[in-house]
Amino acid sequence: MLQDLEKQYILPTYGRNYTNFKSGKNATLIDSDVQTFIDFTSGIGVVSVGHANEKVAQAICEQVNNITHISNLYVIEPQVKCAESIVKQSTFKMQCFFANSGAEANEGAIKIARKYGEINGEIKRYKVITLDQSFHGRTITALKATGQEAMHNYFGPFPDGFSYANTIDDIEGMLDEHTVAVMIELVQGEGGVQPLDKQKVQALAKLLKSKDVLLMVDEVQTGVYRTGEFLASNVYEIEPDVITLAKGLGGGVPIGVVMTSIENALVAGEHGATFGGNYLSTAASNAVLNILQESKNSGDLDRTFIKFETKLEVLFKKFPNLFTSSVGFGMMRGLRVKDADTLANIIKSAHEQKVLVLKAGRNTLRFLPPLTISDEEINEGFKRLDAALSSL
Ligand SMILES: *Cc1c(COP(=O)(O)O)cnc(C)c1O
């Protein structure tokens, strides 16, 4: 049995479900019993243009039949095109460094901040402030940047200089002469689909600029059209100094980016990644970026968002006994559930009705569907979810 083999050979770091998915198409998945599921998770915001997207598959096949990897000692054409596309769609004047994951992109951001703090100003600045309930990744440094103390158990000692603001309002009072950067998610994802207040973020951006403290925005989950614009930073109308991307960028192929407006933020010998930005990941990403830009420009993306939101609000209103509030925007959405046990029951029941949904934070039912989900898939998914909730 696959389940027994998994238990024997894989470290038990995840609470897994053992449905064995064999194939997919857009927001639909088929398991080994040929049961059809609707996917409202897109692999935690990764498969942004759906499963088995033909254009992405074709771009990958063409690329790997040619060159998969050559190393960053040579110029890599799809990498350069990918960076150009990212920077142009962001509307900012920035340069990119390619990594392979969100945590790795955030490591790059923190290295940029540390170097900036070393060479700008009279004394060395190294402190980075993040928010409570944030999530920035699982490497030692990204984990320390993550404002969830429970996750830090066992893994210390950590790098110095990280502290957590309870809310965005508390950041100003925490700045001192050693602070070099503030790193935030504009909508906390893992923390429970928690958007920050736009006016407060804009005020923070202004304050940090006046103090030469870097604003670093972790858009690993919010980026690449998840929240309606290319970046959540575009939605919030701010210009961060450093931005990181990963999840939705490669359509399922591992890729991460740290981008910055700081000139020569890192130079030869100061950073690197063997696999970062290779032909495979950037060819896939270029296909994803084209598809989503077209979808945004044609109005399809906005129509899909409205359709999803409308259905979600109907569901939210129908079950006031289960849900306390509806949170998030774009296709990064959550319904706060009255308690954690009820949430666990909802996710289980949804799976039985063959619709995949996620948990975030303690009590948030989270939705991160593919941005290309069809009207039929939205209708079917909500029909199943309605049945799941009605059965509780
Ligand atoms: C998922 C996530 C990460 C970590 O990304 P990995 O690819 O798992 O390293 C970092 N930041 C945010 C906001 C995320 O949602």
pLDDT tens track for 128-145: 999 999 999 999 999 999
| Whole-number pLDDT of residue 260 | 98
Is 211 part of a structural domain of the chain? yes
Query: How confident is residue 119, by pLDDT bands cut at 50, 70 and 90?
Result: very high
* Selection from 318, 303, 374, 386 nearest residue 49 by Cα: 374
Q: Side-chain half-sphere of 141: how many Cα atoms within 13 Å?
A: 18
Query: What average pLDDT does this structure show over 56-75?
Result: 98
Q: Which amino acid is at 103?
A: A
- Supply 223's token pair: 């980026």
Cα distance between residue 89 and residue 192, in whole Å:
27
| Whole-number pLDDT of residue 333 | 98
Task: Among 136, 193, 226, say which to mutate for ligand 1: greatest number of ligand atoms within 8 Å of CB.
Answer: 136
Is 222 part of a structural domain of the chain? yes
| Whole-number pLDDT of residue 263 | 95
Is 327 part of a structural domain of the chain? no
| Whole-number pLDDT of residue 239 | 98
With the C-alpha atoms ordered 287, 290, 295, 301, is the resulting torsion angle positive or negative?
positive
Token match 């906390």: residue?
Answer: 188
CA of 246 to the centre of ligand 1 (A): 7
Atom of ligand 1 nearest to the CA of 254: 7
* pTM of structure: 0.98
Is 84 part of a structural domain of the chain? yes
For every residue of 273-284, which 3-state class applies, written as one string?
Answer: CCCCCCHHHHHH
CA of 220 to the centre of ligand 1 (A): 6
Is 361 part of a structural domain of the chain? no
pLDDT tens track for 188-215: 999 999 999 999 999 999 999 999 999 9
Domains of the chain: total: 1
pLDDT tens track for 8-64: 999 999 999 999 999 999 999 999 999 999 999 999 999 999 999 999 999 999 999
CA of 44 to the centre of ligand 1 (A): 10
Query: How confident is residue 369, by pLDDT bands cut at 50, 70 and 90?
Result: very high
Is 373 part of a structural domain of the chain? no
Show the domain range for 236. Answer: 56-297
CATH number of the domain where residue 246 is located: 3.40.640.10
Classify residue 383 as left (phi > 0), alpha (psi -120 to 50) or beta. alpha
- Supply 29's token pair: 């998945």
Burial class (CB in 10 A: 0-12, 13-18, 19+), 328: buried
Atom of ligand 1 nearest to the CA of 101: 7
Cα distance between residue 14 and residue 272, in whole Å:
29
Query: What average pLDDT does this structure show over 366-385?
Result: 98
Radius of gyration of the chain from its Cα atoms, rounded to whole angstroms = 21
Query: What average pLDDT does this structure show over 181-189?
Result: 98
Atom of ligand 1 nearest to the CA of 138: 9
CB atoms within 10 A of CB 153: 7
Cα distance between residue 35 and residue 31, in whole Å:
5
Task: Among 217, 219, 220, say which to mutate for ligand 1: greatest number of ligand atoms within 8 Å of CB.
Answer: 220
Is 330 part of a structural domain of the chain? no
Is 377 part of a structural domain of the chain? no
Cα distance between residue 284 and residue 278, in whole Å:
10
| Whole-number pLDDT of residue 275 | 98
| Ligand 1 neighbourhood includes 223 CB (under 6 angstroms) | no
Burial class (CB in 10 A: 0-12, 13-18, 19+), 333: buried
**What length is written for the chain?**
392
